[in-house]
Structure 1
Amino acid sequence: MVFDASADNSLVGGTDRKDPQLLNAWLPSGPALLFCPADRPERYQKALDRADVVILDLEDAVSPDNRAAAREALVANPIDPDRTIVRINPAGTGDYRRDLAAVAETNYRVVMQAKSEDVASILDTALQTIALIETPLGATRANEIAATSNCIGLMWGAEDLVAGLGGSSSRFGPDEPRSGEYRDVASWVRSMVRIAAAAHGKFAIDSVHLDIDDVDGLIAEVRDAVALGYTATACIHPSQVEHIRAGYRPSDEAVEWARRVLEGAAEHNGGVFSLDGQMIDGPVLRQAEVVLSRVASGESTEDS
């Protein structure tokens, strides 16, 4: 594992930072990340064929009695490590140590640490780690966790968060105003995770939409995630993949605008200029770069 305190981080979700971090850190190859239970090896390749990245889950998707078998399956059924994340159990548990031992027997190099709560537990993985912020304590430490050198990205989760609050629902119910939307505390953590990731030049993954039949709700959340600079959205069912990809795919008009912005910036040597009556400066230029990066990401995924 190579660390470089002066590494120049490339544009990630609209940020340009220089923070201590990994050289050549892994990035998702596309915006749709599909969870797959690690104790169902017959689904590994199918999930990878349907999505941009598969998250092989050793935690919530696997019952405690099946975790030993899940780890054996993880080792015995390799898939493309460049498009695979392994979700491991929370630090401080026996399963956590056994998960890391299993990952060490594979070519996988990216883990997602469930219920991440402190810097030490991220460093302890000695792997490129996506910190899953889903507890009250983790939420209060999101900024410090994002700054950790081997933390390459953040994701957040609503259900464990609400359970940790002693609550009963992360979303407003059908008989309440704003039905189906996140309650304010969940929305706050979603915002904090995005801000912490951006502050340290790391990517951010939006949480799963558990109601598979609520396509309109999923589409709305993806649209909002894209507007806020999220890099990807996780999902639990293959039917959600195309809605996520479509939401992250820039329109033809947006791509044309972005290309004109970059051409104008080259003509003006990076200085401020006007395009169709809009002042184009550094922040707008970075937004254009993000649009084109999403096009490149989509083309790369289709070619794989």
Structure 2
Amino acid sequence: MPRPDAPVSSFTLGPALLFCPGSRPDRFGKAAERADAVIVDLEDAVTTAEKPAARAAAVTAITGGDDDVPALDPAVTVVRLNGVSFGELDADLTALEGSPVRHVVVAKADDLGVLDHVAAALPEARLIPQIESPIGVLNAPALASHPAVEALFWGTEDMTAGLGGTTARTADGAYRSVIRHIRHSVLIAAGAAGVPALDAINTGIRDLPRLAAEAEDACASGFVAKACVHPHQVETVRRAYTPDAGEVEWAKALLVALRQEAGADADPLTVGAFSFRGQMVDAPVALQAQRIMARYDATRVHQPGE
């Protein structure tokens, strides 16, 4: 059953999440300093031979660190698990059982069975299914509605391979139409279930203008955060999610008007239409104002002068 969403998403790991290979604990500290949250990757970024050490490093980091592995705050650290088809998932779960892990990406999540399996092993963790296959797209509404899920994520390269394609992007770096359709489908499935959606990475590390346009579109479309593969991408994503001064002034003023109209504890979901700056506004507009302020609160610590 879809769950009704709060007026503003409670997801606090964004807007810029940075992947870091679990096999490179020497990078954990720098990643944590740069990004809003770190995704310690046990999957694609780690060779089979390196996976045991990567698991150990991830667990050490979220349990306080040691001389060789910097500590990572479990509240803003995500561990990406291996997909079930590669035979490494159970080893990941065994390593993480009893640890303070709070967020995990379930790579190549195709069906509810794998979410049930992960949730049973890590009952205190919140799950982020990564939709990376055609069957995952078709099952996205069910995956989003799983009670342990806190957000939906999606990926491009495995998706393209699963479709029988060769590239996810055109020569100018834009998504192909089928990939845009998949992106929209995941966003809609998340919205219907009342959970946030996270936008996929852009592997074009040097193409920051393309990343900026993509992140701005993600923010405006409804994705609460975007994943990065390089530290240089983080500030571009954060800027895209940072409301400008005009948006902040408008949102603050509208919310003040809302409280004056309907009371200090007014719920934007139930407020009726009222006049603001010569226009009639209602609940959806008030929700937009709340989301602008939520983005402002999430990004302002990195703004000059804050």
State whether TM-score is above 0.5: yes
Quick check: 1:158–1:207 contact (8 Å CA) kept in 2? yes
Quick check: 2:2–2:193 contact (8 Å CA) kept in 1? no
Deviations 1:130-162 (Å, cap 9, x if unpaired)?
Answer: 010111110111111101111110111111100
Matched with 1:22 is none
Matched with 1:167 is 165
Take 1:261 and 1:276, find their aligned partners in 2: how far apart are those partners?
9
**2:218 is the counterpart of 1:222:** no
Query: Structure 1 residue aligned with 2:141, among 140, 143, 149?
Result: 143
The residue type equivalent to 2:290 in the other structure is E
Quick check: 2:187–2:197 contact (8 Å CA) kept in 1? yes
The residue type equivalent to 1:298 in the other structure is T
Matched with 1:275 is 276
**2:21 is the counterpart of 1:37:** yes
**2:4 is the counterpart of 1:11:** no
**2:50 is the counterpart of 1:66:** yes
Give the length in aligned residue pairs.
281
The residue type equivalent to 1:136 in the other structure is P
The residue type equivalent to 1:98 in the other structure is A
Matched with 1:247 is 240
Moved more, 291-300 or 129-138: 291-300
Quick check: 2:3–2:193 contact (8 Å CA) kept in 1? no
Take 2:164 and 2:294, find their aligned partners in 1: how far apart are those partners?
40
Quick check: 2:153–2:199 contact (8 Å CA) kept in 1? yes
Deviation at 1:8, TM superposition (A): 6.5
Quick check: 1:81–1:109 contact (8 Å CA) kept in 2? yes
The residue type equivalent to 2:213 in the other structure is A
After TM superposition, list the pairs within 5 Å mapping 1:254-273 onto structure 2: 254-269=247-262, 270-273=271-274
**2:52 is the counterpart of 1:54:** no
The residue type equivalent to 2:7 in the other structure is L
Moved more, 69-78 or 35-44: 69-78
Take 1:30 and 1:157, find their aligned partners in 2: how far apart are those partners?
17
Deviations 1:11-44 (Å, cap 9, x if unpaired)?
Answer: 345xxxxxxxxxxxx7234300000000111111
Q: Secondary structure of the residue that 2:151 maps to in structure 1?
A: strand
The residue type equivalent to 2:26 in the other structure is E
Normalised TM-score (structure 1): 0.88
Matched with 1:191 is 184
Deviation at 1:265, TM superposition (A): 1.5
Quick check: 1:12–1:201 contact (8 Å CA) kept in 2? no
Take 1:84 and 1:46, find their aligned partners in 2: how far apart are those partners?
13
The residue type equivalent to 1:120 in the other structure is G
Matched with 2:289 is 288
Matched with 1:119 is 112
CA RMSD in angstroms, aligned pairs only: 1.9
Deviation at 1:274, TM superposition (A): 2.4
**2:188 is the counterpart of 1:180:** no
Deviations 1:210-257 (Å, cap 9, x if unpaired)?
Answer: 001111100000110111111100000000111111110101100111
Alignment CA distance shift 1:301-1:153 (3 Å): farther
Take 1:144 and 1:7, find their aligned partners in 2: how far apart are those partners?
12
Take 1:180 and 1:231, find their aligned partners in 2: how far apart are those partners?
22
Matched with 2:59 is 75
**2:224 is the counterpart of 1:231:** yes
Alignment CA distance shift 1:154-1:106 (3 Å): same
The residue type equivalent to 1:121 in the other structure is V
Take 1:83 and 1:300, find their aligned partners in 2: how far apart are those partners?
16
Matched with 2:67 is none
Quick check: 2:273–2:280 contact (8 Å CA) kept in 1? yes
Structure 1 spans left out of the alignment, 5+ residues: 14-25, 174-178
Q: Secondary structure of the residue that 2:88 maps to in structure 1?
A: helix
Structure 2 spans left out of the alignment, 5+ residues: 63-71, 120-124, 263-270
Quick check: 1:29–1:300 contact (8 Å CA) kept in 2? no
Take 1:225 and 1:7, find their aligned partners in 2: how far apart are those partners?
23
Matched with 2:150 is 152
**2:208 is the counterpart of 1:207:** no
Deviation at 1:93, TM superposition (A): 4.0
Normalised TM-score (structure 2): 0.87
The residue type equivalent to 1:222 in the other structure is A
